[in-house]
Structure 1
Amino acid sequence: MHPPESTPAPEAANSREGRPRTGAKDVAQLAGVSTATVSRALNNPESVDPVTRQRVLDAVAKLRYMPHGAARSLRSQRSKMVGAVVPSFDYALYARTTSALQQRLDARGYSLVLAETHYDPGAELRVASQLAQHGVDAFVFVGLDHDPTLFALLEDYGRPYVLTWGVDPMCRHPSVGFDNEAATHAMARHLIELGHRRFGLLSAPVAGNDRARARGAGLRAALVEAGLKLDEGCVQYAPISLQSAQEAMTRILDQPEPPTALVATNDVFAVGAMLACRAAGVRIPEDISITGVDNTDLGATQSPGLTSIRTPIVEIGDAAAAQIIARLEDRPCELFQSFPIEIVHRGSTAPPNPKRKYQP
């Protein structure tokens, strides 16, 4: 990792102590409820009917309300706790990144608090608010797609944060990651150079998932540059699991003209695709080339081994922790870090076979 450059922290990371703060009475008045209902909606939301709760949340967002007691506590002392909010505990890569994050934080005397959101922006906002009210000093989030209200919340609390697994191209939000679009673009170029002209894409749903969206865009851009087109019948979106990937790949193989090359947006999808091919008698790479992203042991230990993009899984967690620690301790740091990626070539890719045996 390059030596940190001295970069002023963005406005969102600075304290807002000088600004008059909105009170619970203001929120109650705007929402047309009592202050007790405001308290229940924020602290015990299941006890308030959804319509009323939404009115309170809308008022909170409009007035950018923060509970006074929590704000005073946060201004007066540090908890030495950092919150890591991830989409899912089920995805092993987030666990590896979080482990690296925890190790660097622990070495400096900070504790890590974990929460998951199941790819729900509303849940992410709620969890972040609860953690902030309980005194968490800083936050680490996954990806670049977040409800704008989240950043307003962090600004009001004056809490530093860093986004991971991507780098904000507009440099609005501190971020650590890599170019997701460039990763699959490079992989698609490799397959095109091997001679492939008919492609498939296996991806996570793109709503609220900038990583999936960027990786799909990388494939599409490479195909356009080569004068090729992606058949939408050979595009499948699925939850990140081997079973879902296998089922999605089966649908691709059932197309009238199945692809000769598949770009999967992570190794779980790629290995699930391999399982589907084996079940259907489709040979890899003789009948189809398959590629992944992240270069995990799951893909490396397949037969044949999976050609995949090595991504900075551990480096992201370590760098995110280093940035958070520096900002909490008022030291200079690099706010935007993009790590390199590379293709790891294995046996799952080869030139297309004009005599391939598989036919749907």
Structure 2
Amino acid sequence: MVNLKQVAALAGVSSSTVSRAIAAPERLHPETLQKVREAIASLDYVPFAPARVLRSGRTRTIGIVAPTLMNELYARAIDTLESEFLQLGYTGLLTCHRDNHDLELSIVRALIERGVDGLALIGSNHHHDVLSLIRRQKIPYVLMWAVDREHVHPTVGYDNHLAMGRVAEYLVSLGHVGFGVLPGPDDTGQLSNIRLSGIREGLGRQGIALRPQAIIATPYDPEAVRYATRKLLCQANPPTALICNNDFIAAAAIAECRALEISVPGQVSVTGFGDWDLARLGSPSLTTVRSDAVRIGHLSARNLLKQINADGDCMAEQDEFEAELIVRESTSNPSAT
């Protein structure tokens, strides 16, 4: 079996330098690190993980916990975060809790038991024991797509309430006064409620009250969204603007408008949230809010790595940015028929 001394001899460095290349590659000069990595590859050397952990106190692993990967933005942010850590010699351990908070707690416990050096969790709505467990164990962590006005938790994200309020105000500025809202499932909790409250407040600032019958919750199912869209647009006084919780819902709503031969945006304007690929590629292209997933992944990696390198002496840092409203073809003045 190949050992550490053989790698060091081939690379022309000391055994301690090889150890540093494995345990803390960022501390080596790039040329030295390259020599060691070439020697490791040439000899097919596989470090003994328990020994490495004992020497460095780190497993060089990061736990990433997401609700689902069936979300383009989550996948893009995770890919960015994981690739940045991979360049530093870390391995990402990715798992999904599928909106089951008890499962989330079990997953986080398992990752901590495996000795992860840090945790990245998506969202701010978690099992009530998850964050207290992480903090008690003094594990570096970051909440992605989250803000924390109390400055307790390290977070990266934007204010969904304010972002959706700007969408509502933009539509009012075009002249819309009749609104329908497709907020997604009514059992997903915090995010849908935050965005809906942002719509209410944005309209309220313009003197417009959102009627209860103007809000129809649906699962993330295209047929359910299309049926809800039909109900809204077949009312006695149909809305001239549909505000959707995300771009998927908006795309399904536009599909139903097309089936009903209702022009978008000529007869009804439609907005989404997220700026998924389909927002740019659909016809009409979608007015939406840009949820910059790559930026969230990059800032989350930076935030988490800063904590790991500080060895517990780092204050919780909040990285917040403004989500940009992207105006495209799916919105116009209501009299533009």
TM-score using structure 2 length: 0.78
What is the SS of the residue equivalent to 2:59? coil
Match of 2:118 in 1: 138
Write the distance in 2 (CA, Å) between the matches of 1:288 and 1:217.
22
Percent identical among aligned pairs is 32
RMSD over aligned CA atoms reads 2.2
CA contact (8 A) 1:223 1:229 kept: yes
- Partner Cα separation in structure 2 for residue 241 and residue 98 of structure 1: 24
Bigger CA radius of gyration: 2
When residues 75 and 198 of structure 1 are mapped into structure 2, their CA distance, relative to the original with a 3 A threshold, is farther
1:198 corresponds in structure 2 to 178
Asked if structure 2 preserves the Cα contact closer than 8 Å seen for 1:326 and 1:333, the reply is no
- Structure-2 separation of matches of 1:94 and 1:74: 34
Return closer, same or farther for 1:284/1:143 CA change in 2, 3 Å cut-off: same
Counterpart pick for 1:348 among 314, 330, 337: 330
Counterpart Cα distance in 2 of 1:198 and 1:90: 32
Check 1:266–1:275 CA distance in 2 against 1; reply closer, same or farther (3 A cut).
same
Query: Matched residues in 2 for 1:76 and 1:157: separation?
Result: 18
Measure, in 1, the Cα distance between the counterparts of 2:184 and 2:121.
18
Tell me: CA distance 1:330–1:282, structure 2 relative to 1, closer, same or farther (3 Å).
Answer: same
Indicate if the aligned counterparts of 1:166 and 1:211 stay in contact, CA closer than 8 A: no
Residues of 2 paired with 1:194 and 1:95: CA distance?
34
What residue is the counterpart of 1:94 in the other structure? Answer: 74
Whole-angstrom CA distance in 2 between matches of 1:234 and 1:319: 37
Alignment of 1:72-221 (within 5 A): 77-205=57-185, 207=187, 209-221=189-201
The DSSP-based 3-state class of the residue aligned with 1:262 is strand
Matches within 5 A, 1:303-318: 303-318=283-298
Counterpart CA distance in 1 for 2:299 and 2:307 is 12
Deviation at 1:103, TM superposition (A): 1.3
Work out whether residues 200 and 234 of structure 1, in 8 Å CA contact, stay in contact via their aligned partners in 2.
Answer: yes
User: Which is worse superposed, 334-343 or 213-222?
Assistant: 334-343
Taking structure 1 as reference, are residues 105 and 120 closer, same or farther at Cα in structure 2, changes over 3 Å only? same
1:307-333: CA deviations, max 9, x gaps? 111122111111111111111111768
The C-alpha deviation readout for 1:185-235, integer Å capped at 9, x for no partner, is 111111001110011111233545433222111110011111111122121
The correspondence for 1:270, drawn from 244, 250, 254, is 250
Q: 1:122 to 1:251 in 2, by over 3 A?
A: farther
The 8 Å contact of residues 203 and 209 in structure 2, kept in 1 or not, is answered as: yes
Picking from 253, 261, 264, the partner of 1:284 is 264
Could you say which residue in structure 2 is the equivalent of 1:222? 202
What residue is the counterpart of 1:5 in the other structure?
Answer: none
Q: Which runs of 5+ in 1 are unaligned?
A: 1-72
In 1, distance between residues paired with 2:176 and 2:211? 14
Cα separation, partners in 2 of 1:75 and 1:203, compared to 1, 3 Å: farther
**Does the aligned pair in 2 maintain the 1:234–1:255 contact within 8 Å?**
no
Q: Is the 8 A contact 1:139 1:161 kept in 2?
A: yes
CA–CA distance in structure 2, aligned partners of residues 185 and 74 of structure 1: 51
Aligned residue pairs total 283
Q: Counterpart of 1:329 in 2: which secondary structure?
A: helix
Contact 1:177–1:339, Cα closer than 8 Å, also in 2: yes
After superposition, the C-alpha distances for 1:245-297 in whole angstroms (9 at most, x for unaligned) are: 32332332233322110111211111111011111111101110001111222
- Alpha-carbon distance in structure 2 between the residues aligned to 1:107 and 1:75: 21
Whether the 8 Å CA contact 2:147–2:159 is kept in 1: the answer is yes
The Cα shift of 1:241 comes to 4.3
Partner residue in 1 for 2:235 = 255
Matched position secondary structure for 2:129: helix
Distance 1:75 1:201 in 2: 56
Gaps of at least 5 residues in structure 2 are 1-52
Moved more, 248-257 or 148-157: 248-257
Deviations 1:44-92 (A, max 9, x none): xxxxxxxxxxxxxxxxxxxxxxxxxxxxx89983211111111112111
1:44 paired residue number:
none
